[in-house]
Structure 1
Amino acid sequence: MIPTASSSPAVAPRGRAGLVGDGARVVPAATRWLRRGLDVLLVGLLVLALVGALATGTVRGVVAVGVGAALLALYVLGRRRLPLPADVRAPRGAWWPAGAWVTGLVVLWVALCLVSVTAVWVAFPLMFLAMHVLGPRRGPVAVGVLVLLVVGVMGVYTADVALPFVLGPAIGGAVAAVVVLALEAVVRESQERQRTLDELVRTRDELATAERERAVAAERERLAREIHDTLAQGFSSAELLLRAAQTALDAGDVGTARGYVEQTREVARHNLAEARRVVRALAPADLASSNLVDALRRTSARTASRIAAHGDGRGPNVVVQVSGDPVALPTDVEAALLRVAQSALANVEQHADASRVAVTLSFLAGVAPGEEAVALDVVDDGRGFDAGGVPGRSEDGPGPSGGFGLVAMRARLAELGGTLSVESAPGAGTAVAAWVPLGAAEDVEEGR
């Protein structure tokens, strides 16, 4: 089908294989050029007919110009206003408005032929137009009528209608019908292919969603089994042992009660080990097979690569440093510090426009045993911001768009007894500092 200007209300993006549109609106781009060629052919032949009529210098020439102008105006009006579907499978050829438009064009063309014989050639683009507008059922009938009208017009001007006067229009009508039908077959195949591709894409997305949901459900079921088979059973045993200890105490048997309490402590220690194992299984992926320092280096390298990818090809110089004597950190502390670093580096990527970023992990020795702490500093030399304008308990972060999640980071560190501070000034970069006391963090982990 040759698309009209009104058959595609919105300009669709160019798709695969030179197709334009989506779904039922997929049309080969070559048909647009064919449509334009049809417009040029009709207008060109019409102009030639009018020029030939004017060359006679008679009243017929003036009448021909008037009829030709009316024909051209009706053609342009229909091309701009006639709603034609882009889907070749859609029904076409209704009397209103398509049939009325084609009929009006044919009537004006016949009138023009009666005053200018050269207008008979306009019948050829009208045949293409009739096939396009009226569809594969009514279109060939209209083409046949046009062929008969051409022969009749030639008969008006020639007493003896020769065989070429019949074969010429007949062959022209057959060519118009075959070309339009073949083009519609190509369009139909393209549309079916596009529908198939769209269906495959939808199916793929549905399968991906179902797979994610299945994975989430499986993980939840696995965690439920883990908790039921380990922690829940341990707590149940501890409750029974404590109940037995209470019974022994009520009976005055302190030794037996002490034994039950010792068994309860052993169950609690075992449950604590199981709880830590579950927590480690849920730790960030970067900490699954390495320590915090290696995870910080990988996160920093990814940030620099992303900035270079969507910038001018040069990312900031991100340096990861370690200060003090490293010690083994609880899983909660490692996860919290890694999340703080990821958020701070994400803010550098989105807002800072920095050339250098320093990520420093410091192991701080205390004056007395149990006073050790760990600190994480993320410092950049970017554009900075007014730190005094960031409310202490808002969701805004240390960037102009508030992408840091300040309250969430402070809450995460507060659970471990730590703090978070942000220092920045316009044009002076930004420093994010997280501090966690290891003694308090260990107490929190043991209390879980």
Structure 2
Amino acid sequence: MERVWLNRAMHLGFFLLLAASAARLVVRHEMDLRTVVALADTVLLALVYGGGVLLWDRLGRRGRLAWLAVVLGCWLVLVELAPSFAWCAIPLLYVCLRLLSLRMTLAAATVLTVAVIVAQISLSDRFDPSLVLAPIAVAAMTIVIFWELRKAGVMQERERLSREIHDTLAQGLTSQRMLLQAADRAWESDPEQARAYVRTAIEAAGENLDEARRFVRDLGPAPLARAPLADALRGLGAQFRLEGEEFPLDDRTQAVLLRVAQGAVANAREHARAGRVIVTLSYLDDEVTLDVYDDGAGFDQAVARPGRGYGLRAMRDRVAEVGGTLTVESAPGEGTAVAARIPV
């Protein structure tokens, strides 16, 4: 997953370091041919880098790799003309980590580090081991930190997709399967009812496809794009209650509440075989709460159930991400109550 804040920080850092290096060049050197060429290369590098950032999505993978090669080439020329431009190495190394495999990143890091070492030595009036050891240490730490951030981002994205698949695709397919099974049972005795089940299954498939497209693009739930939260909760097919005076909630909180309600209602129908499900949305002074109660079979929370339990864990994770808490009360034969509380 792309970490937008980190990308922007690195882009900003690159331009600041580029500007600082150019300022040092103008202040400390005469305006001779070498300086003019270096400044022209600085402008070219800034334009190429900025253009790549603005056109990132349009470039595609091959275009980005070609862009990176041009950026690194312009930078290496700059370091040769004015060693102070070596400061830009860290944001450039981050870009390499974004675009290249680990092996190619190590190769690029070697080139960048050697260029920095040569620049450091040329700027110093005497040689000492720190001129070599420090750039190597900085490069190694940078690679490890950024690589771990990248791995964490991948794991976070996998967790997000697994939750969305469970809460949308899996539940949607279960609903469609139940509808088609009902249609199959009614096909001989009541063809019109069977066709109604099939039409409902087709509508559910379309809604499921819309949800899949939205969560792949990391958009909010489709029902919230069409209606307010209360109306989306009413559309779950359970008995709905609204308590308190409504006030605006941010998009993320609304999405979490809807997903929790969808998961709890689906569990009540699929696993608990509940005859009655009640969804209550309450607006309080300092929090919003969502309670889902069913009169189904219930379960023993102390007993682990193989293949089950992911839905509840996903609900807890969702609520925790917005600073809330989720509690579950259930016992065999006594139904289940799921309560989410989110401070506002």
**TM-score of the superposed pair, with normalisation by structure 1:** 0.38
Larger radius of gyration: 1
